[in-house]
Amino acid sequence: MKNRLASLWRFFFGDSARAFGSASAILLVLLAVAPAKNHFSQWRHYQKQYLRFIRGRADAVTLERHFQPGIQQIWIPEQQVTDRCTTCHLGLKENSLADVSAVGFRKHPVIPHSLTEFGCTTCHRGQGAATTVQEAHSATEQWEQPLLPAKYIESGCGQCHLENQTGTPFLNQGRQLISRYGCTHCHTIKQPDGTNVLPDDDPPSLKHIGDKTTREWIYAWIKDPQAYAGTATMPNYHFSDDDARDISAFITAQSTPLEPPIQPVKADAKATADAAAGTTLYGQSFCASCHAMQNAAGMLVGGDVGPELTGIGTKAKPEWLQDWIANPNHYDPGTMMPHYRFDAQQVATLAGFLESKTEPDFLANLHLDPATPQQIEHGKRLALENGCASCHEINGIKKPENFAPELSRIGSKPVNQLIFVEGVEHTLPDYIGAKVRNPRAFGPSLKMPQFKFTPQQVDAVTTALLALTERAQTQPPKMRISAVQQAKYQPAGHAGQLMRDLRCLTCHMINGHGGDMAPDLTWEGTAVQRDWLIQFLKNPETLRPALIRRMPKFNLTEPEINTLTDYMMTVYQTPEFDRDSLPVTDLTPAQVEQGRQLFYSKFACQSCHIADYSKDKGYIGPGLAGTGKRFNAAWVYHWLKDPQALRPGTIEPNQHMTDDEARSLTAFLMSLKSTGSKEVMKK
């Protein structure tokens, strides 16, 4: 063995010539390593595979012409994009490869952007400059920027698009949840365009909470808000019995009586409360447009604007309920609830009905001893530590600044700065998801409370948070598309006060401010006739039979109605055209007849609208049987010409009518003077 090695040595390095030759050979081999490595590299392998793949197809010639060998790169310096993904992902732009099963060679799904304009890593993350599968995708924990799982992909859009978009339902939902559940009461989220994400829940002030409810209810509520109402916004802080006792003691102790005080319930008022009348009044007042309540079958029915009322009788004191229904502004001047002008009888009926809605188990076996000063003191300390005043107004505690970490760049947080717990994958999305799902799993002393989100909601919130990246903050401002901010518009003068009292803007949008539950009233003065508006405010009729939500009756007085009507008819006029530009007297009977033909044949308006209650059945758009009494002819004409111009987002299609057609249809519609819903009742 040893001899053989020695002879080998002599053969290669025996004398200087042999040694020189062998050394040269070794050097050559070493020199060949680099080109060989290049030749056998992974991306070359994929390119060869791709060529083999496309050569088997009928469109091989086209595909081969498009193919470019070598390392490909998308380089966009101002967006910090250096992406070599297209070196291996070769079919991204090939329409004919849409249904290929291999991810690498498949066409990119249709998106509104060109791939070369934004690169790949902007949305997908990963290491753009890498040229091996492992380094580029880096699904392992050693890498800072792994590929983003597909379910969070909409976060990529959210870096530039700060507004809601049609194609990103989960991002929209996540953002809506962040506002709806008031995350930004504690966490600041500064968007790239400089605006802050604002909460749109409306946590109640606790300054007079003692007038509204009992200490026992507060205790049970803070122990588990969802036990009282499944839809409750307030998260669960997992307080111990003693802590809940002390906080309820403090919250009750800090409460001061309202000024002027709430009147006690009159003895006879309660007796008049009868259940059937209460149910009817609750329905007639369309309380369910905003408030949900469980029906007999246990189904939750109603809106999400106000709190759920299933157990309101357990929560609210009877005298508070009466006071609130009579005029909510007394207890909370900032409430979204309108001031219905109920008479004493109606107040008693409705209050009686609501008092009967109880959650008997909620306060069962609950007994709290009178609070000691130490308990109140401890309760205050807990309220301070848990940031109660971030959301609620509390006497004696100021709203804390930056109570929780800022989340403006949470989507780029380096993984090595995160502390993971057992069972959570070491990636940023998994960390955020786990934190949103169950914050206390990260340590019992953490303050973040437990929200009740479904797994799908957790993913949506995670998607919205992942959109808050470093890249979003630092990219050129021209790339940002800001959301439309709510205007600060408030109606002015006496009518303005009245409209604030009635909270018109809770449901209606006017000049870019308000809710989206009811039609935009910005140009209502141009659209309708004065007499109709007066009648409608007096007694709102059903305009859209397909909707559950309706305008409630507020029991307005004659002078109030006149003030509102005058204001709306004067101020809410469109500048686009003159409301008197098409006098009804100009419209001829021949036009009416022609309009009828167009209505029923060419445009088939009866598919969605009812012009004649005896034969039309269309159920989507508003009933038109009373158009001649309700609308202004010029408005009808311009609406028919281009509905979206007058009310963006309306579902009525633009039918591209000629002027003559629109005029004839207007003539026909203005000839309809039935009183709408009453006819239905007669049938």
Partner 1 sequence: MKSAFIALCALVLLTSGCSRKSKQPAPLHATATGAAIVESSGGKQIGYAGMPLDQQVVVQVSDASGSGVAGAAVYFSGPSGVSFAPAAALTDSSGQVTTAVSLGQQAGRYKLTASTRDAAGKNVAVQIDEIALGYQQTVGAQLNAQFCVRCHDPESTPLRVSNMDNLSVKPHSFTEGDTLNKMSDADLVAIISHGGPALNKSPEMPPWGYTLSKNDMAALVSYIRAVADPPYQASGLIYARN
Q: How far is the CB of 149 from partner 1 (least distance, A)?
A: 7
DSSP letter assigned to residue 96: G
| Residues within window 143-162 making contact with partner 1, judged by CB under 8 A | 149-151, 153
Residue 1 as a binder of partner 1 (CB under 8 A): the answer is: no
The SS3 call for residue 164 is coil
Site pattern 641..680 for partner 1 (x: CB under 8 A): ---x------x-xxxx------------------------
Site string for partner 1, 45-74 (x = CB under 8 A): -----------xxxx---------------
Q: Which residue among 36, 198, 446, 548 contacts partner 1 (CB under 8 A)?
A: 548
CA distances from 277 to 364, 553, 555 (A): 29, 16, 17
> What is the smallest separation between the CB atom of 308 and partner 1, expressed in angstroms?
17
Name the minimum Å distance from CB 57 to partner 1.
5
Nearer to partner 1, 61 or 492 (CB): 61
The reply to whether 344 sits near partner 1 by the rule CB under 8 A is no
Residues from 111 through 140 that contact partner 1 (CB under 8 A):
111-112, 140
Q: Which two tokens stand for residue 646?
A: 């007058």
Residue span binding partner 1 (CB under 8 A) among the ranges 19-27, 290-298, 382-390, 616-624: 616-624
| Residue 9 in the binding site for partner 1 (CB under 8 A) | no
Name the residue with tokens 């989960």: 170
Give min distance, CB of 531 to partner 1, in A: 31
* Cβ–Cβ < 8 Å for 510, 500: no
Binding residue for partner 1, selected from 15, 99, 268, 401, defined by CB under 8 A: 99
Q: Exactly one of 604, 673, 675, 680 binds partner 1 (CB under 8 A); which one? A: 604
The rounded distance, in Å, linking the Cα atoms of 643 and 411 is 41
- Detail the DSSP E strand segments found in 90-206: none
Helices (H) and strands (E) in the chain, counts: 35, 6
For the CB of residue 88, give the shortest distance to partner 1 in the complex, in Å: 16
Contact flag: residue 557 with partner 1 (CB under 8 A): no
Both tokens of 218, joined, read 């507060």
- Dihedrals phi, psi of 228, to nearest 5 degrees: -80, -50
- Range in contact with partner 1 (rule: CB under 8 A) among 95-103, 308-316, 515-523, 587-595: 95-103
| C-alpha span between 640 and 660 (Å, rounded) | 11
d(CA 337, CA 291): 10
Residue ranges of alpha helices (H) inside 598-675 are: 627-630, 633-641, 643-646, 659-670
| Residue 169 is a binding residue for partner 1 (CB under 8 A) | yes
Diameter of the chain measured on Cα atoms: 125
In terms of phi and psi (left: phi > 0; alpha: psi -120 to 50; beta: otherwise), the region of 104 is alpha
Looking at residue 319, its amino acid is E
Among positions 362-401, residues that touch partner 1 (CB under 8 A) are none
Give the burial class of 224: count Cβ atoms within 10 A of its Cβ; 0-12 exposed, 13-18 middle, 19 or more buried.
middle
Shortest Cβ distance from residue 60 to partner 1 (Å)? 8
For residues 168-185, one letter each, b for 16 or more C-beta atoms within 10 angstroms of the residue's C-beta and e for the rest, the string is bebbbbbbebbbebbbbb
Please choose, out of 271-279, 492-500, 604-612, 658-666, the segment that lies near partner 1 by the rule CB under 8 A: 604-612
Interface with partner 1, residue 607, by CB under 8 A: yes
Coil, helix or strand at residue 66:
helix
The answer to whether 424 and 206 are in contact (CB under 8 A) is no
Is the omega angle on the peptide bond into residue 260 within 30 degrees of 0, that is, cis?
yes
* x/- map, 412-451, partner 1, by CB under 8 A: ----------------------------------------
Output 117 or 274, the one with its CB closest to partner 1: 117
- The Cα 185–Cα 183 span in angstroms is 6
Among 30, 33, 110, 297, binds partner 1 (CB under 8 A): 110
The stretch among 8-16, 403-411, 494-502, 614-622 that binds partner 1 (CB under 8 A) is 614-622
Between 88 and 325, name the residue whose CB sits nearer to partner 1: 88
Which H helix or E strand runs over 513? strand 513-514
Q: Does 21 bind partner 1 (CB under 8 A)?
A: no
Q: Tell me: does residue 546 bind partner 1 (CB under 8 A).
A: yes
Size of the site for partner 1 (CB under 8 A): 44
The alpha carbon of residue 3 and the mean position of all alpha carbons in its chain are separated, in whole angstroms, by 83
DSSP for residue 520: -
| Alpha-carbon gap, residue 198 to 179, rounded angstroms | 6
Q: Which two tokens stand for residue 240?
A: 């111990």
Q: Are 486 and 530 in contact (CB under 8 A)?
A: no
Count of C-beta atoms within a 10 Å radius of residue 401: 7
Decide whether 152 or 567 has the Cβ nearer to partner 1.
152
Could you give the string, one character per residue 625-644, with x where binding to partner 1 holds by CB under 8 A and - elsewhere?
A: -------------------x
Q: How far is the CB of 653 from partner 1 (least distance, A)?
A: 5
* Residues at the interface with partner 1 (CB under 8 A): 56-59, 96, 99, 101, 103, 106, 109-112, 140, 149-151, 153, 166-170, 455-456, 459, 546, 548, 601-604, 607-608, 617-620, 644, 651, 653-656
